[in-house]
Amino acid sequence: MAAQLTTPEQKEAVEAYVLASKRRSERDRMADTKTVSGVFTGSYAINPVSAEPVPVWLADYVLAGYGTGAVMAVPSGDQRDYLFAKHFNLPIIAVTDAQQNLDQQADPTKEGRYINSELINGLTFKEANDKLITWLEEHNLGKGKVNFRLRDAIFGRQRYWGEPLPIYYKEGLAYGVAEADLPIVLPEIDEYKPTETGEPPLGRAQDWKYRGKFDFELSTMPGWAGSSWYYLRYMDPHNDERFVSEEAEQYWQTVDLYMGGAEHATGHLLYARFWYLFLKDLGLVSGNEPFQKLINQGMILGRSNFVYRLNLTWNVDSRQSSQSALSKYFPPAIFISKGKLDKYEAGDASTIDEIKNFIKNYPAEFNKRDLGVVINHVDGFQGFSALHVDISIVENDFMNMEAFRRWRPDFTNSEFITEDDGRYICGWEVEKMSKNRFNVANPDELINRYGADALRLYEMFLGPLEQFKPWNTSGMSGVSSFLKKLWRLFHPEDGKLAVTDEAATPAELKALHKAIKKAQEDIERFSFNTSVSTFMIAVNELTALNCHKRAILEPLTVIISPYAPHLAEELWAELGHEPGSITNAQFPVFEEKYLEEASIDYPISFNGKMRGKMTFAAAAVAADIEKEVLASEIFEKFSEGKAAKKVIVVPGRMVNVVV
For the ranges 101-115, 312-326, 421-435, 532-546, which has the lowest average pLDDT? 312-326
Give the closest residue to 74 by CA, choosing from 117, 29, 124: 117
pLDDT tens digits along 347-386: 899 998 888 888 777 654 444 444 344 444 444 556 788 9
Give the closest residue to 531 by CA, choosing from 561, 502, 505: 561
Q: Please check the confidence at residue 312 and state whether its pLDDT lies above 60.
A: yes
pLDDT computed for residue 33 by the predictor? 62
Instruction: Locate CATH 3.90.740.10 in the chain.
Output: 2-139
* Per-chain mean pLDDT for the chain: 87
The CATH fold assigned to 451-594 is Isoleucyl-tRNA Synthetase; Domain 1 (1.10.730)
Peptide bond between residue 164 and the one before it cis (omega within 30 degrees of 0):
no
pLDDT computed for residue 370 by the predictor? 46
CA distance linking residue 67 with residue 199, whole number of Å? 34
pLDDT tens digits along 150-176: 666 678 899 999 999 999 999 999 999
Instruction: Locate CATH 3.10.20.590 in the chain.
Output: 599-658
In the chain, count H helices and then E strands.
21, 23
pLDDT tens digits along 548-595: 999 999 999 999 999 999 999 999 999 999 999 999 999 999 999 898
Average pLDDT over residues 191-220: 94
296: β partners: 260
> Which burial class, exposed, middle or buried, applies to 399 when counting CB atoms under 10 A from its CB (0-12, 13-18, 19+)?
buried
Angle subtended at Cα 17 by Cα 12 and Cα 22, rounded to the nearest 5 degrees: 130
Confidence band of 260 (pLDDT split at 50, 70, 90)? confident
Confidence band of 28 (pLDDT split at 50, 70, 90)? low
CA distance linking residue 471 with residue 455, whole number of Å? 11
Give the closest residue to 630 by CA, choosing from 606, 600, 595: 606
Average pLDDT over residues 311-323: 54
pTM value is 0.59
Distance of CA 557 to the CA centre of its chain: 31
Rg (CA), the chain: 35
**Running DSSP on this structure, what letter comes out for residue 586?**
P
The CATH fold assigned to 599-658 is Ubiquitin-like (UB roll) (3.10.20)
Please state whether beta strands 300-310 and 384-389 pair in parallel, antiparallel, or not at all (unpaired).
antiparallel
Contact 404, 427 (CB under 8 A): no
Instruction: Locate CATH 1.10.730.10 in the chain.
Output: 451-594
Contact 389, 317 (CB under 8 A): no
CB-CB neighbours of 243 under 10 Å: 16
CA distance linking residue 554 with residue 243, whole number of Å? 42
Task: For the chain, give the percent of residues with pLDDT over 70.
Answer: 91
55: β partners: 44
Class of domain 2-139: alpha beta
